Amino acid sequence: MNKVIELLQSHRSVRKYKPDKVADELVESIVRSAQMASTSSNVQAYSVIAVTNPETKRAISAIAGNQQHVESCPVLLIWCADLRRSRLACEQHNVQMVSGTMENFVVAAVDVALAAQNAAIAAESLGLGIVYIGGIRNDLRAITPLLHIPELVFPVFGMCLGYPDQEPSLRPRLPLRAVLHRETYEDDEKKSESVEEYDRTTREYYIERTNGKHDTTWSREMADKFKRPVRAYLRDYLEEQGFRFDT
């Protein structure tokens, strides 16, 4: 196993940070690394907002379900799917941009995720910790004016950045055979077995980590998560932002 793979496989989300600032040149190096990720047809359909203002971080922390680390991390990156720059480019050539397709939305959502993951790896290679904050999607209608998000921009997730003040244990993932298929997508029966195996692993992990207080399994967590709709305003919000899904 080389050093890079070791780094990738030792990722854990960090939710407690030292007060030390993150030098601006590190943030720039991290975002430059993000920019070198692959991007669909060179569209580069994303932007990132580096938030350090304590009041803004506090407000976003409240929106994200009072996650203390969102407020206490020195830098909060907000990763946005962004078709606005593409539209600017079209306007320079008097072209009316077609932005109402699922395809364009998928391109932007994937582009921003590829870039962000490069940023996460770059940050971790510099001794920083990160955690993704999907909780900003709890209320994007509040995030939007706060960060002056314009049309055709969709803040997809946040990412805390800072020097770790904790050493969380590795969280076990699904067995390899649950996610890796050979030649074609394999049938459900095999997958069910690997889910059962993973249920045992996660149960042990939770019991050990919480001294027996948290006794559940992965499939139980999924059942709890998916039994009701969450963030059911999202499609409407995206349409308010000028995204459309007509075709």
Please identify, using beta-carbon distances, which residue of 28 and 215 lies nearer to its own copies.
28
Any idea how long the chain is?
Answer: 247
Amino acid identity of residue 7, one-letter, is L
HSE, side-chain direction, 13 A CA sphere, residue 218: 17
CA distance 121 to 124: 5
Please identify, using beta-carbon distances, which residue of 97 and 207 lies nearer to its own copies.
97
Tell me how far the alpha carbon of residue 241 is from its chain's centroid.
20
Checking phi first, is residue 41 left (phi over 0); if not, alpha (psi -120 to 50) or beta?
Answer: left
* Cβ at position 42, least distance to its own copies in Å: 7
* Cβ at position 201, least distance to its own copies in Å: 12
* Cβ at position 165, least distance to its own copies in Å: 19
As beta bridge partners, residue 81 has 46, 154
* Cβ at position 19, least distance to its own copies in Å: 19
Cβ-contact 198, 174 below 8 angstroms:
yes
Please identify, using beta-carbon distances, which residue of 18 and 175 lies nearer to its own copies.
175
Please identify, using beta-carbon distances, which residue of 20 and 150 lies nearer to its own copies.
150
